[in-house]
Amino acid sequence: MRMKQGSGRAAASRKIWTIAAIGAAAVVAVGGGVGITTASFWDEFEPSSTSSPGSSPAASAPDARSDYTVGVTPTDGAFSVNPATPPAVTVTGATLDAVELVPRAGGTPVAGTLSDDGTQWTATDRLAFDTEYELSYTARDAAGQPRRGTSTFRTVEPANEADAAMYPLDGATVGTGQPLEFTFSEPVTNRDAVEKAITVTSTSGQPGAFYWLSDTKARYRPETFWAPNSTITVESRLFGVDFGNGMIGNGDTTRTVKTHNTRLAVVDNATKTMEVYLDGKLDATFPITLGTEDWPSTEGYMVVMEQYESTRFTAESIGLEPGDPAYYPPTVVNHASRLSNGGAFVHEALPAAQVALGRFNVSHGCIGMSPEGAEYFYDTFATGDVVQILNTDYGPMYVWDGFGDWNVPWDEWVDQP
């Protein structure tokens, strides 16, 4: 495939090749980031000769090496090249006649464009990871004599690739309290670069911000709960982004998540009740039991994480061993909705605990309900819906213990140290 030729007398006789495959530019450390290096290859070139037998090349084709220069990125032999950086060939005092970029193992040439004056060729296709490329080019000097050069380079190897997963999954419908959680395959030290590469928009127009739980996990939320019945679009343009420590993002994705109507359960320790509000209107009230003084329930906002029609609770899962005063044998519970990593659930209270509903607390931090109440909650609420607990005097759930994100004040969220 031929590229558009430049203008001028020399251009009339030259051919320009497109560049094919999947490659990138040489990478060097520059203040913790990625830089591009260039080099001249003309010292290795031999001028072609159009002289007659017995004449010297210098007589018929003056050596123009000192009259022009060429710069190539990546440099010959470069490795761990970022595939997002386009290879380029630039000449000064000459014009490019032909350029080709191909995978050395074979494949389609990488497309590219030539500047109008014929002095610069730049790849327009993305390169592939873990691929060796060969870049060949020919330039003509003022006398029309060709100079040719070839260089090779290799892009980032799999060990230096990085990607990111998001929860909720693409296409999911969740409650209005669901933060977006990003889990990175490699530690992120260039947080600003990664955040800039991820754009979150919503049909509600709500702005938001990131909050980092660790070097591999970040959350994103607006100042208040997501608007009901809205669509959230997440565009992650991480291809070629330097995560830090030589780790390079390997792909771009676009994901959408929708929210359903507003569902809020307000649990009050003072009254031992749960009031359920759907779209802001009180829909149901149930008696409940919360955690004891030794195992208090946390205050503040929680978000439903997952649900089980029935599941098995063990004391060992919350750090208890046989012989501990609070130990209990493995127990099957019905209509359980998880609120924290630490083991807080909304669930049907055991038969022996039913007498405590609406009166006193007997749980290990869970919200115990009647069979009817637990089933109603299980059927009405889903992942991302919000539970608010009041008056336990214990303090809020931590941001990392489930989705305690809404307990972090907004100014602290956006000004995280």
The residues that are catalytic are: 347, 366
Q: List, as one string, the DSSP characters of 93-119.
A: SSEEEEEEEEETT--PPPPEEE-TTSS
Q: List CB contacts of 122: < 8 A, sequence separation 6 or more.
A: 86, 87, 88, 112, 113
What phi, psi does 25 have (nearest 5°)?
Answer: -100, 160
How many other β-carbons are positioned within 10 Å of the β-carbon of residue 291? 22
Which of 299, 274, 283 is closest to 365 using CA atoms?
299
Q: Which helix (H) or strand (E) holds 176?
A: none
Token readout for 16 is: 């320009």
Q: Which helix (H) or strand (E) holds 410?
A: helix 410-414
- C-alpha span between 184 and 413 (Å, rounded): 20
Contact 415, 408 (CB under 8 A): no
3-class DSSP state for residue 375?
A: helix
